[in-house]
């Protein structure tokens, strides 16, 4: 195939937005002076790179009725780790591209090496490292006691050459560690730049889709938590997993932030040990580490993360403000939600905080995205304001509405059962979440209004 003329474009280095002409401000992310001219080479969108890929230079696609399209999915396969399978939505989907993001040192290479060593016993697997030397990886695999005889290794940073090797080896699964060091000939930017990262990822992903290979791409996040410019890769790949640290440095949380093949709120928890990453199969109470003495401003909330409950401590600190504009600070929770809760507390609880600084913290580095923490947050705030400790064995959950009503949340019964299992004896929950049949060991107080909840404590 003849080489087509190289294409030029302007790409925003912040968000990867593309434009045919230079612009002072990016229309998508509103950043200034971020458009850089790049040479897209001849690799996109239709031409094939050197070393022709079978079927790449497309024949004309046929139109089909939606009903005629086979909806049969290729069967998923397990990663060997149930926590990883859970976050993926039930294992790997052949032909899918999965991005694993995280800060350097989060354990991305470790979890992928462990996974591939295990998967390699059933299928051809290829680990491409552009960062660590193969000796380093081999030493690590040996130290971790992983089965190393079937896994194929490749030290390479050229996306084209990786695909040439993959065409010969025909692996069912490929790891690219990491996308930041990959490059393509003809793309006119340094490895790690937005253009290289995006073009290499798109090229590798096209190969994965056409051959039914699972592609696992490692991406380091920068200090503002973006992967080589936010959004750069997220529309190319199918699933984006983030591996994050918790306050307890042993634990790692894996979370799907995008998933075309499963839920996005599913959570996997691992512990970093001297023998690599180990799964934590019953993690519901790992974030509970309260001391013996009771302190004011603290209560346990039962979260629902994906398909299972998680007990987390919510702490509030309310202190008289020295500022004209008192502070409202949250860690692990939405700040606007706190402002709303305080307004409800004033209007429907008759409790004023307008001269107080209010801090709300979710212990353990967990980020709460559901509304069930509203009630626990409010009770913690009231407890701190009055310097009145809540019972150690009490939990609370429920959404607080603007009219001061306490609204039910999903999976109330399962949350209560989990709390009872961990020895909690009292629960303040929305009345609609109160189970009809008593749960042994836990006394459940159903509340309909904020004032009921305040009476209950």
DSSP 8-class letter at 396: E
Which strands form 298-305's sheet, in the order they lie side by side? 328-331, 356-362, 308-320, 298-305, 394-396, 426-430, 443-447
Alpha-carbon distance of 195 to 34, in angstroms, equals 13
Instruction: State the alpha helices, DSSP H only, in 80-179.
Output: 82-88, 108-119, 134-143, 159-169
DSSP 8-class letter at 117: H
Number of amino acids touching ligand TYD (CB under 6 A) = 14
Largest Cα–Cα distance of the chain, in whole Å? 79
x/- binding map, residues 268-297, to ligand TYD, per CB under 6 A? ----x-xxx---------------------
Question: How remote is the C-alpha of 165 from its chain's centroid?
Answer: 31
Q: Is 101 in the site for ligand TYD (CB under 6 A)?
A: no
Choice from 17, 109, 196, 433 touching Mg ion (CB under 5 A): 109
Question: How remote is the C-alpha of 62 from its chain's centroid?
Answer: 37
Instruction: Report, in Å, the least distance between residue 108 CB and Mg ion.
Output: 5
Q: What are phi and psi of 346, to 5 degrees?
A: -70, -50
The answer on whether 109 is annotated among ligand-binding residues is yes
Stretch that binds ligand TYD, among 44-52, 75-83, 104-112, 204-212 (CB under 6 A): 104-112
Q: Which does 449 bind (CB under 5 to 8 A by kind): Mg ion, ligand TYD, none?
A: none
Q: Is 145 in the site for ligand TYD (CB under 6 A)?
A: no
Q: Is 108 in the site for ligand TYD (CB under 6 A)?
A: yes
Alpha-carbon distance of 113 to 132, in angstroms, equals 12
Q: Which lies closer to ligand TYD via its Cβ, residue 101 or residue 430?
A: 101
Choice from 110, 189, 301, 315 touching ligand TYD (CB under 6 A): 110
SS3 of residue 214 by DSSP: strand
DSSP 248-304: STTEEEEEEEEETTS-SS-EEEEEEETTEEEE-SSGGGTT----SS--TTEEEEEEE
Q: Which lies closer to ligand TYD via its Cβ, residue 270 or residue 304?
A: 270
Q: Is 330 in the site for Mg ion (CB under 5 A)?
A: no
Instruction: Report, in Å, the least distance between residue 104 CB and ligand TYD.
Output: 4
Choice from 109, 115, 298, 384 touching ligand TYD (CB under 6 A): 109
Q: Which lies closer to ligand TYD via its Cβ, residue 102 or residue 332?
A: 102
List residues near ligand TYD by CB under 6 A: 102, 104-110, 140, 144, 272, 274-276
List residues near Mg ion by CB under 5 A: 109
Task: Mark the binding-site residues, compressed into ranges.
Answer: 102-109
Task: Mark the binding-site residues for ATP, compressed into ranges.
Answer: 102-109
């Amino acid at each position: 195939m003849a080489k087509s003329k190289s294409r030029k474009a302007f790409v925003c280095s912040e968000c990867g937005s593309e434009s045919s002409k230079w612009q002072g401000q990016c229309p998508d992310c509103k950043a200034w002076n971020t458009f850089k001219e790049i040479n897209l080479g001849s690799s996109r969108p239709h031409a094939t790179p050197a070393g022709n890929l079978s079927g790449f230079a497309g024949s004309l696609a046929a139109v089909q009725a939606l009903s005629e399209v086979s909806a049969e999915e290729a069967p998923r396969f397990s990663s060997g780790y149930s926590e990883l399978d859970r976050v993926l939505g039930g294992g790997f989907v052949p032909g899918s591209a999965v991005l694993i993001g995280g800060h350097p040192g989060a354990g991305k290479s470790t979890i992928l090496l462990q996974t591939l060593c295990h998967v390699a016993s059933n299928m051809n697997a290829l680990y491409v490292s552009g960062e660590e030397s193969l000796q380093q990886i081999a030493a690590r695999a040996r130290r971790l006691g992983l089965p190393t005889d079937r896994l194929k290794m490749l030290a390479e940073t050229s996306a084209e050459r990786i695909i040439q090797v993959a065409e010969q080896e025909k692996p069912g699964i490929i790891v690219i560690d990491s996308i930041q060091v990959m490059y393509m000939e003809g793309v006119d930017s340094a490895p790690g730049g937005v253009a290289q990262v995006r073009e290499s990822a798109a090229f590798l992903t096209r190969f994965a889709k056409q051959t039914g290979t699972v592609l696992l791409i490692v991406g380091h996040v920068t200090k503002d938590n973006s992967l080589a410019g936010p959004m750069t890769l997220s529309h190319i790949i199918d699933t984006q997993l983030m591996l994050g640290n918790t306050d307890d440095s042993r634990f790692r949380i894996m979370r799907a932030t995008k998933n075309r093949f499963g839920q996005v709120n599913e959570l996997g928890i691992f512990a970093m040990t001297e023998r690599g990453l180990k799964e934590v199969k019953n993690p519901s109470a790992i974030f509970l580490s309260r001391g013996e003495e009771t302190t004011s401003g603290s209560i346990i909330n039962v979260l629902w993360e994906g398909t299972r409950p998680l007990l987390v401590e919510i702490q509030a600190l309310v202190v008289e403000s020295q500022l004209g504009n008192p502070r409202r600070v949250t860690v692990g929770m939405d700040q606007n939600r706190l402002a709303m809760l305080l307004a409800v507390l004033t209007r429907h609880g008759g409790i004023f905080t307008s001269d107080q600084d209010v801090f709300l913290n979710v212990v353990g580095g967990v980020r709460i995205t559901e509304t069930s923490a509203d009630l626990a947050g409010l009770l913690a705030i009231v407890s701190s304001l009055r310097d009145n400790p809540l019972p150690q064995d009490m939990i609370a959950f429920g959404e607080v509405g603007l009219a001061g009503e306490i609204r039910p949340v999903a999976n109330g019964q399962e949350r209560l059962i989990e709390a009872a299992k961990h020895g909690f004896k009292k629960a303040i929950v929305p009345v609609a979440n109160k189970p009809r049949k008593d749960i042994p060991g836990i006394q459940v107080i159903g509340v309909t209004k904020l004032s009921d909840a305040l009476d209950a404590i």
